[in-house]
Amino acid sequence: MTLAEIQAVLRDVRFPLYVFHAEACGDRYWLQATFFAPCSETGETKRQHTRKWYVSNQATVSEVVQTALKCTLASVEHEAREAFEYRGRRIFGPHFDVDQLVALFDAGDPLARRVPRAAA
């Protein structure tokens, strides 16, 4: 599949407020979407970009469309993680540094569950 063919497929993909596009980087292709939404830090509405998704030059039309769906689902999850709060904090935020998460893990047992005791 050529870049032009991927772009033609993406012209038929729709999701509210999202614009899908593809680009070439050497002999590889990338799919990405942009959309306008409030910044999670400043509240200012600005253009947001999803991560880039690899599309093989051997991809089928179905694979391109499914990659666009995966791009959308990951982006919507990202936005939900930025907005979801517990006790006023975004505890499932998508921007945590993985090395800090390892340090948190090493500092205790974050997998230990607090199980409520049954009333006597």
Range(s) of the domain holding residue 34: 3-107
In this structure, is residue 10 part of a structural domain? yes
In this structure, is residue 36 part of a structural domain? yes
Query: Per residue in 31-81, pLDDT tens?
Result: 999 999 988 888 899 999 999 999 999 999 999 999 999 999 999 999 999
Query: Per residue in 22-37, pLDDT tens?
Result: 999 988 999 999 999 9
| pTM (two decimals) | 0.82
Tokens found for residue 7: 């772009």
In this structure, is residue 115 part of a structural domain? no
In this structure, is residue 113 part of a structural domain? no
Tokens found for residue 59: 């991809």
Q: How many Cα atoms sit within 13 Å of 16 on the Cβ side?
A: 2
Domains in the chain, number? 1
In this structure, is residue 13 part of a structural domain? yes
First to last CA, the chain: 67
Q: Is 6 exposed, middle or buried (0-12, 13-18, 19+ CB in 10 A)?
A: buried
In this structure, is residue 116 part of a structural domain? no
